[in-house]
């Protein structure tokens, strides 16, 4: 009989050598510049995370951008905005592109700057000096002017909410040319200069009139422009009635505090809007944002509204694939996963942690694939009982309640090996900072890759997906025809998982998906 120990030793020797160390100094695989930039684009928030400062993130994205062609930078930025629903990183990459002598900046600008918030984000990055200058420059100035000149009156009003820079600052910076008397008056009103009252757009005249006489109908302006006024419960109900979907989701507690849900039939009306499928898709909501809204919905939020958030979550993750075969999901519940998913930001740190997102992904896959197996892990696997028929929010919260301990990415695969389990797809959701399973005696490959190859010995067609939700630049699983590394925490990751599970993604995998974007 063949020597099992001898043949087992060849597994590690045949695997590619590790070429980096992770934040714990443990052997890992370094992403290629393209993969690193893509990962940073959809997970980097330019805020401090568990293992990295904001400055370190900035240095990493600059380093990666300098090693790839401008066209790929533009595509990664567009993907991050349109599919990853990111804000700061696409704005930063766009600002970086503005410094390069190519047409990619002009092509990417309108697809990334898709609203007033993104316009101000871009200008803020440019003024910060992060890309080497503190002024806009000719090309960026012209494109900002073009956005202002073509935006509708209500888009301009929405863009006027916020500072650093304010929209008034932007207007003073770029001097847009008014297309008519109404736009000329609007610009003057925004920057505090004399204006022709009769020429103001209707929405602005309604706002000014309401400030003088609150008995008038509430104008359809951003509600932040109204909060300094003496508003009644009926006013707040009117504001909620006209609010956009995201604004509604974010301000349930505010509406409750002002008595909106005491208005007869209004709770049911809000619930219907929150669970409206087309509105949810248009809002480009992160599934984790719905979980955050539910977590913050206290006893003052009516049960019908809380139930609507459950319904909204089911809709938000409705593109989770139904996968043929045996699926295993492995959410990382270790201590580092307690980090806020978008990083620490003074005065505005999200309450949603990486572990919440890992639990959410696992629960969503289980909801669509009710025979799937969920194996949470830290330094070892953690037992948890989940009911596939429960809602995504219920199972996600159950998984997120068991966090702590070190990180051992090999633990779930070790369990599958010990069981000689039959699997077709294994999905990890982690920050990839494994250290408990470090190879100690001169091993040439990641421990995770070694055990994965052993599992493949009796599951030759199995595939491994590693969803990375923090931008640290390394992985425990080398990209291969059977291994997919993907970054992000939007529902877009499910589309890529589905394509990979069906064998529809080529050798470049996720980076190849970004490459498909046409400029």
Least confident range of 81-90, 142-151, 182-191, 458-467: 81-90
Cβ–Cβ contacts within 10 Å for residue 163, how many?
A: 10
Closest CA relative to residue 352, chosen from 295, 285, 433, 283: 295
Q: Which of 500, 516, 420 is nearest to 466 (CA)?
A: 500
Q: Residue range 436-451: average pLDDT?
A: 65
Give the pTM: 0.84
Q: What is the mean pLDDT of the chain?
A: 87
- Closest-CA residue to 181 (of 198, 157, 161): 198
Strand, helix or coil at 329? strand
| Burial of 217 (C-beta count, 10 Å sphere; 0-12/13-18/19+) | exposed
Per-residue pLDDT at 508: 67
Q: In angstroms, rounded to a whole number, what is the distance separating the alpha carbons of residues 329 and 320?
A: 13
Count the Cβ atoms, other than its own, within 10 Å of residue 227: 12
Residue-level pLDDT at 139: 94
Q: What is the pLDDT of residues 311-360, one digit of tens each?
A: 999 898 887 888 889 999 999 999 888 888 777 766 666 777 888 889 98
Work out the percent of the chain whose per-residue pLDDT is above 90: 49
**Structural contact between residues 78 and 91, judged by C-beta atoms closer than 8 angstroms:** no
CB 411, CB 381: distance < 8 Å:
yes
Tokens 């000149």, residue? 149
Q: Which of 96-100, 145-149, 158-162 has the lowest mean pLDDT?
A: 158-162
Q: Say if residues 485 and 497 touch (Cβ distance below 8 Å).
A: no
Residue 4 confidence (pLDDT) above 50: no
pLDDT in the model for residue 348: 62
Radius of gyration of the chain (CA): 25
Nearest to 76, CA basis, from 52, 47, 43: 43
Q: In what order do the strands lie in the sheet with 20-21?
A: 20-21, 27-30, 474-475
Residue % of the chain over a pLDDT of 70? 92
**Confidence at 441, pLDDT banded by 50, 70, 90:** very low
Q: What is the pLDDT of residue 47?
A: 62
Per-residue model confidence (pLDDT) at position 506 = 62
What does the alpha-carbon distance between residue 174 and residue 400 come to, in Å, rounded to a whole number? 47
Mean pLDDT of 71-89: 92
Q: Which domains does the chain have, with CATH numbers?
A: 316-515 (3.40.50.410)
Neighbours of 508 (CB within 10 A): 15
Sheet with 463-468: list strands edge to edge.
373-374, 327-331, 425-430, 463-468, 483-487
CA distance 448 to 344: 30
Place of tokens 């109404």: 182
* Across 48-57, 199-208, 508-517, least confident range: 48-57
pLDDT at 507 over 90: no
Q: Per-residue pLDDT tens for 355-397?
A: 888 998 999 899 889 899 999 999 899 999 899 888 888 998 8
Residue 320 and residue 360: Cα distance in Å, rounded?
Answer: 12
239-290: per-residue pLDDT in tens? Answer: 999 888 998 998 999 999 999 999 999 999 999 999 999 998 888 777 878 8
> Residue 445 — pLDDT band, cuts 50, 70, 90?
low
């Amino acid at each position: 009989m063949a020597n099992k120990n001898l043949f087992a030793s060849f597994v590690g020797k045949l695997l590619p050598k590790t070429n980096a160390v992770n934040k714990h100094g443990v052997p890992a695989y370094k992403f290629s510049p393209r993969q690193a930039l893509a990962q940073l684009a959809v997970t980097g928030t330019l805020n401090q995370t568990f293992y990295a400062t904001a400055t370190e993130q900035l240095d990493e994205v600059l380093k990666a951008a300098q090693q790839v062609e401008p066209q790929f930078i533009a595509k990664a930025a567009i993907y991050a905005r349109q599919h990853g629903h990111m804000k700061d990183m696409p704005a930063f990459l766009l600002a970086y592109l503005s410094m390069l002598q190519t047409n990619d900046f002009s092509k990417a600008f309108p697809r990334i700057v898709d609203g007033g918030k993104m316009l101000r984000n871009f200008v803020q990055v440019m003024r910060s000096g992060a890309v080497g200058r503190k002024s806009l420059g000719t090309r960026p100035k012209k494109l900002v002017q073009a956005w202002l000149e073509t935006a509708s009156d209500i888009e301009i009003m929405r863009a006027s909410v916020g500072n650093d820079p304010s929209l008034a600052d932007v207007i003073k910076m770029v001097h847009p040319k008014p297309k008519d008397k109404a736009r000329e008056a609007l610009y003057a009103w925004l920057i505090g200069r004399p204006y022709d009252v009769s020429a103001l757009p209707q929405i602005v005249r309604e706002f000014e009139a309401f400030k003088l006489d609150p008995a008038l109908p509430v104008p359809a302006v951003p509600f932040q422009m109204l909060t300094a006024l003496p508003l009644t419960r009926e006013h707040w109900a009117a504001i909620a009635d006209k609010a956009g979907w995201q604004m509604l989701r974010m301000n349930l507690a505010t509406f409750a505090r002002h008595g909106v849900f005491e208005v007869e039939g209004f709770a049911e009306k809000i619930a219907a809007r929150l669970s409206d499928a087309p509105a949810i898709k248009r809002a480009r909501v992160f599934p984790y944002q719905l979980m955050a809204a539910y977590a913050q919905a206290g006893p003052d939020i009516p049960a019908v509204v809380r139930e609507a958030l459950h319904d909204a979550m089911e809709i938000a993750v409705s593109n989770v694939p139904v996968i043929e075969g045996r699926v295993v999901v492995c959410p990382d519940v270790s201590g580092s996963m307690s980090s806020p998913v978008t990083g620490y930001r003074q005065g505005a740190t999200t309450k949603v942690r990486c572990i919440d997102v890992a639990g959410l992904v696992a629960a969503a896959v289980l909801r669509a694939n009710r025979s799937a197996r969920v194996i949470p892990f830290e330094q070892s696997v953690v037992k948890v009982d989940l009911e596939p028929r429960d809602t995504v929010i219920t199972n996600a919260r159950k998984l997120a309640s068991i966090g702590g301990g070190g990180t051992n990415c090999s633990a779930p695969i070790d369990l599958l090996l010990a069981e000689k389990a039959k699997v077709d797809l294994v999905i990890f959701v982690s920050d990839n900072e494994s250290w408990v399973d470090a190879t100690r005696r001169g091993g040439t490959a990641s421990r995770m890759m070694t055990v994965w190859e052993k599992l493949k010995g009796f599951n030759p067609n199995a595939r491994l997906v590693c969803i990375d939700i923090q931008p640290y630049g390394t992985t425990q699983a080398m990209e291969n025809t059977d291994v997919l590394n993907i970054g992000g925490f939007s529902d877009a990751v499910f589309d890529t998982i589905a394509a990979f599970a069906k064998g529809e993604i080529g050798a470049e995998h996720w980076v190849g998906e970004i490459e498909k974007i046409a400029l």
